[in-house]
Every structure is written in structure tokens, then in C-alpha cells.
């Protein structure tokens, strides 16, 4: 189906483990984004990508790594998970006129 | 620091009344303005976009933009219980590749 998907939808991990969250879009949008959403903070941009092999930091990039080898995929990796990274993570892609479309989200718990 | 400000609410409105949601932004160069709706536990979904001063209507929703006052609003006519959600205002970051989101206003429609 066309759209933007994220996997896994739910993830529980332990402090210090590496975790990768996947994002896939079928629209061939150039821009893709990773946000985290926490109570009291709203949506905060972690990383974004303007095209394959082009990525840039957002507001809260520390502890995260991204890559984009193909236009349709934009994985987010937590190199060594910490409890403060417990959050809901949203991937988005951007169509024409700056409109962003969000994936269903990944709820991550770090114990 | 470019900002988008919204009253966090909750805003309680009787069913059938008009709900009015407001948003101010700091970047005078912003050109694109969006309203997203987010139900609890779900991802944000776009409900309105507006790019020029004035009103834009779509069904029960009207977006209003006043660039001189750096103010954008969303009116919901004939409010329904299904309109109960958090509404996020978003503004493009002129000269950058990002969208800045407000923290959202919680709207509660009273049956």
C-alpha cells in the first residue's frame, strides 16, 4: 500500500542496547524527518534528510544516528539506548508545498 | 530561536458550537502554515494548510491567516465529539528545510 510505514510499532529494550527504528515511504518524497514526542515538549526534530545520502541534525540529535542509502528508507538508530530516550518516535515525509505526512509511530521503552 | 506558540488548553466547547484555536509564530518570513489533528495514541494528520492572508474554508474547518500580526487560527463549526483531539499548529522555517510545530492545544467537545 502507498504511504509511510514504521516498524516496529512497539519496542522494549534495555539501557545500553542498540536499537534501530525503520521508516519506509512509497511516495518517493525527497524529504524525510524523524521526530520524538514527549509530554510537555511536543514534537521535537531529531534528524532530517533532503535526499539519499544527505542528512542533517535537528533540535535533539545527540545519541541518535541516521542513514539514507535509498530514497524510500530512513532508519533511525539509537547507538546505546538510555532511559531518557523512552518516547514515541514519528517518521514523516514531505510532499509538495512543505506538507508533511506522518507514519503511525513507534512507542519505545528503555528499561 | 524560532517559535510557534499555542495555548495548551484544554479548551472545552459544547457540541454544536464553534471551536476557535489560535497560534502565533515568530518567523516573519514564514510562508506555509498548517493545522494537524492528533488523536490520543495516534500520529498527527493534516487537516488544513494555508499560504496567503485571509480565510480558507474546507467543510466545517476554516483556517485564518494574518501575516502582519503573525497569527493563524482554526475555526471548527458545528463541533462534534469526534473533534476532541490535540491540534498542532505548524509553520515552515523560512530559509531552512524544516517545519516548526507548536506544542498543541487539547480540544474537548462536551456532548
pLDDT tens figures, A67-105:
999 999 999 999 999 999 999 999 999 987 788 999 999
- Nearest Cα residue to A84 out of A45, A38, A47: A38
* Cβ pair A60, A41 in contact under 8 A: no
pLDDT of A1:
60
Can you tell me the mean pLDDT for A18-31? 96
Angle among Cα A35, B96, B99 to the nearest 5 degrees reads 40
Report the percentage of chain B scoring pLDDT > 90.
82
Given the C-alpha cell 542509502, which residue does it identify?
Answer: A69
* Contact at CB, B44 and A102, closer than 8 angstroms: yes
Closest CB from B92, B98, B102 relative to A45: B98
CA dist., res. B81 & res. A77, Å (int)? 39
pLDDT of B30:
87
Please, which pLDDT band fits residue A32 given cuts at 50, 70 and 90?
Answer: very high
- Nearest Cα residue to A91 out of A15, A5, A27, A26: A5
Does residue B10 have a cis bond before it (omega within 30 degrees)?
yes
pLDDT of A95:
84
Q: Euclidean distance between the first and final Cα of chain A, in Å?
A: 34
Q: Regarding predicted confidence, which is higher, B1 or A41?
A: A41
* Contact at CB, A98 and B88, closer than 8 angstroms: no
Residue B57 makes CB contacts below 8 A (sequence gap 6+) with none
pLDDT of B94:
67
Chain B nearest-CA residue for A88? B41
* Cβ pair B105, B12 in contact under 8 A: no
* Contact at CB, B102 and A90, closer than 8 angstroms: no
How much is the mean pLDDT over chain A?
Answer: 94
* Contact at CB, A56 and B49, closer than 8 angstroms: no
Which residues in chain B land under pLDDT 70? 94-95
Amino acid at each position: 500500500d502507498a504511504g509511510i510505514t514504521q516498524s516496529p510499532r512497539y519496542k522494549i529494550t534495555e539501557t545500553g542496547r542498540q536499537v534501530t527504528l525503520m521508516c519506509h515511504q512509497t511516495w518517493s518524497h525527497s524529504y524525510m524527518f524523524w521526530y520524538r514526542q514527549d509530554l510537555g515538549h511536543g514534537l521535537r526534530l531529531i534528524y532530517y534528510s533532503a535526499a539519499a545520502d544527505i542528512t542533517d541534525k535537528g533540535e535533539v540529535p545527540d545519541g541518535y544516528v541516521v542513514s539514507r542509502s535509498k530514497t524510500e528508507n530512513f532508519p533511525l538508530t539509537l547507538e546505546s539506548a538510555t532511559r531518557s530516550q523512552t518516547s514515541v518516535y514519528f517518521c514523516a515525509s514531505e510532499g509538495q508545498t512543505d506538507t508533511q505526512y506522518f507514519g503511525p509511530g513507534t512507542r519505545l521503552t528503555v528499561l | 530561536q524560532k517559535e510557534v506558540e499555542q495555548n495548551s488548553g484544554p479548551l472545552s466547547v459544547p457540541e454544536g458550537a464553534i471551536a476557535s484555536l489560535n497560534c502565533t509564530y515568530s518567523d516573519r518570513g514564514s510562508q506555509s502554515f498548517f493545522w494537524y489533528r492528533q488523536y490520543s495514541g495516534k500520529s498527527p494528520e493534516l487537516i488544513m494548510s494555508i499560504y496567503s492572508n485571509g480565510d480558507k474554508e474546507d467543510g466545517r474547518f476554516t483556517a485564518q491567516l494574518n501575516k502582519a500580526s503573525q497569527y493563524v487560527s482554526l475555526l471548527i463549526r458545528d463541533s462534534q465529539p469526534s473533534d476532541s483531539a490535540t491540534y498542532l499548529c505548524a509553520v515552515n522555517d523560512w530559509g531552512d528545510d524544516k517545519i516548526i510545530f507548536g506544542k498543541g492545544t487539547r480540544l474537548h467537545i462536551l456532548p
